[in-house]
Every structure is written in structure tokens, then in C-alpha cells.
């Protein structure tokens, strides 16, 4: 409550009083205090969603007014899954140079975290490789996301070409955590080939996976973007496996029915254009 008051530039007693008056106005309890902590009721959560929608509409209106005036300013809220951090910040940097008056808020989560902020309407656009199936969203593909197999640089398979997939399946594998887009696409690929991989480790970050591979704990499957961000990986080799790279894509995702403001719409179009240079770099 104190932090909320500070954000609103009012005193804590004033914030408490206004929250009580809001509950009385609605006619239903919006919150409850348990162990000195405030928890929203279901109706309180509904009100929070409605309030965010009202603020989004007002911000969108202000952006449209600025657009008519010939201005390009506003706020853009973007959430990305962790693997997208290898290229989205660079794209945002170029975008900010073109539109220096736009304020950017970028959050990096795992896939579940991105879905949560989408569901709570806390972002304008999300970037992920596997859009959620249990939430009504609109998605648009803008960039390829090839998944590659890697091994320690001195691994026997590293010196071979056209390695049969069955040989990779016999190796201990290191994969991303359950629920990640990379893990879902890898499992879908193995299932389509009627192969059950030997998963030794599940790790929550690409950096941890690369370190585990370099340490000789096994082979791994991860996005090629995770390597091209730092092309010099002397302790890791990309394997030449039949059927690889696994085809995957990056999507911009918005909640279905959400009205994007001019800034978010321009950014989505910008991603489509800027992705061409990244795609060319991946194929080199």
C-alpha cells in the first residue's frame, strides 16, 4: 500500500481511504488483508483488468493525437521469452534511434511468465516462438528460429557429416525446462520421428546449457540465435545432424481483440522489416 501511494504521489492513509471508498462504490469487496498483506478478490482482479484497459485506451488516444500533430512519442511495453533477448534489444536500439521520443519497457521472462503478462494485459506486444493455445491471441510470424544441435568441440560426432538422428538420440541430451518453446519444438520433432531422446538435464537458461555442453555433460538443442549473439564459442561445435535445423519461428503476440496504439503498430511493422537482416546473418 505504501508503494502504491508513492507511485500515485499521495500519502499512505489517503491511498487506503480511496481504496476503501472504491470498494464501497462497487458494492463488493475488492481486497482482503491476510497476514498484513493485501490480496485482490476475484472482483478486484476484474477491476484491475478493466482499469488497465481504460489506461490503454487513453494512452492509445494520446498517441493518435500525437500522430495527427506529426509527433512520434508514447510508451511501448514489450515482453519476450529469454531466448529472444539475443536479438530483440538490438532491434529495439535501432527502433529507438528512429523514434527517440518513445519510452520502452522491456521485460524478459520464461514462456509461462510471458503468457501471464499477456493474460493480465500488462504488455502491448509479446515475442515468443510458441504462442499459447489456452489464451485467445493474435500472432504474426516475423523471423525464423532454427533450432540446432550442439556438442563439446572434441565430441566424436562433431567431426562427422550427415549424422543419423538415431545416433544423436543415443547421446545424453541437455534441454530447456519443461514448458519452454525450445523444449516443446524439440519434443515435437523427436516424436514425429518416433524417437525417445535420453534427457540428462533440464536447464532454465541458454547460458547454462552452453556451459554444461562445454563441460562435457552431453549434447543439446537450442536456438541458433543463442550462438550467433556470440559467434565465438570455441568449446562448442554445431553438429551436422540429419533433419536439422529444426524449423521454428518467432511470433509477435497480442491478446485477441486488443487495440494496438500507433507506437505498438509501428513497432510490429518495424520488426517485420528489421528481421530480414537477422535472417541473412543466420544463414551465413
Which tens digit of pLDDT belongs to each residue from 185-216?
Answer: 999 999 999 999 999 999 989 999 999 999 99
Which is it for strands 125-128 and 74-81: parallel, antiparallel or unpaired?
A: parallel
Global pTM value: 0.72
Q: What is the mean pLDDT of residues 226-231?
A: 68
pLDDT for 276 beyond 80: no
List domains and CATH numbers for the chain: 73-144+250-282 (3.40.190.10), 147-247 (3.40.190.10)
Whether residue 68 has pLDDT greater than 70: no
Beta-ladder partners of 236: 152
pLDDT band at residue 65 under the 50/70/90 scheme: confident
Predicted local confidence at residue 176, as pLDDT: 93
pLDDT in tens, 156-182: 999 899 999 999 999 999 999 998 999
At 112 the pLDDT is 93
Order of strands, edge to edge, in the sheet holding 74-81? 102-109, 74-81, 125-128, 249-255, 137-144
Q: How far apart are CA 166 and CA 190, in angstroms?
A: 10
As a whole number of angstroms, the distance between CA 173 and CA 150 comes to: 10
The answer on pLDDT for 55 being more than 60 is: yes
Whether the per-residue pLDDT at 91 is higher than 70: the answer is: yes
Q: Mean pLDDT across the stretch 251-262?
A: 88
Which of these, 232, 195, 234, 219, lies nearest to 147 by C-alpha position? 219
193's CB contacts (< 8 A; 6+ apart) are 165, 243
Separation CA 7–CA 44 (nearest Å): 19
Q: What pLDDT score was predicted for residue 116? A: 94
What pLDDT score does 19 carry?
87
Mean pLDDT of the chain: 88
Least reliable range by pLDDT among 139-148, 222-231, 250-259: 222-231
Asked if the bond preceding 245 is cis, omega within 30° of 0, the reply is: yes
DSSP state of 136: -
Amino acid at each position: 500500500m505504501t508503494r502504491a501511494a508513492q507511485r500515485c504521489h499521495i500519502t499512505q492513509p489517503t491511498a487506503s481511504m480511496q481504496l476503501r471508498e472504491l470498494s464501497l462504490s462497487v458494492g463488493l469487496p475488492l481486497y482482503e488483508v491476510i497476514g498484513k498483506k493485501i490480496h485482490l478478490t476475484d472482483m478486484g482482479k476484474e477491476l484491475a483488468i478493466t482499469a488497465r484497459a481504460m489506461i490503454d485506451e487513453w494512452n492509445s488516444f494520446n498517441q493518435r493525437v500525437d500522430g495527427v500533430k506529426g509527433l512520434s512519442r508514447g510508451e511501448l511495453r514489450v515482453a519476450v521469452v529469454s531466448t529472444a533477448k539475443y536479438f530483440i534489444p538490438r532491434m529495439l536500439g535501432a527502433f529507438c534511434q528512429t523514434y527517440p521520443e518513445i519510452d520502452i519497457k522491456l521485460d524478459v521472462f520464461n514462456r509461462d511468465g510471458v503468457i501471464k503478462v499477456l493474460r493480465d494485459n500488462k504488455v502491448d506486444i509479446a515475442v515468443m516462438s510458441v504462442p499459447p493455445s489456452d489464451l485467445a491471441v493474435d500472432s504474426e510470424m516475423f523471423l525464423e528460429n532454427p533450432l540446432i544441435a550442439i556438442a563439446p568441440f572434441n565430441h566424436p560426432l562433431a567431426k562427422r557429416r550427415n549424422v543419423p538422428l538415431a545416433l544423436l538420440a543415443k547421446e545424453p541430451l541437455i534441454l530447456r525446462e519443461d514448458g519452454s518453446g525450445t523444449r516443446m519444438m524439440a519434443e515435437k520433432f523427436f516424436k514425429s520421428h518416433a524417437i525417445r531422446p535420453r534427457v540428462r538435464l533440464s536447464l532454465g537458461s541458454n547460458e547454462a546449457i552452453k556451459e554444461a555442453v562445454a563441460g562435457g555433460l552431453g549434447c543439446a538443442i537450442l536456438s541458433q540465435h543463442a550462438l550467433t549473439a556470440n559467434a565465438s564459442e570455441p568449446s562448442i561445435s554445431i553438429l551436422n545432424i540429419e533433419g536439422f535445423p529444426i524449423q521454428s519461428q518467432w511470433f509477435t503476440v497480442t491478446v485477441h481483440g486488443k487495440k494496438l496504439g500507433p507506437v505498438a503498430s509501428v513497432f510490429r511493422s518495424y520488426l517485420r522489416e528489421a528481421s530480414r537482416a537477422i535472417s541473412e546473418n543466420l544463414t551465413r
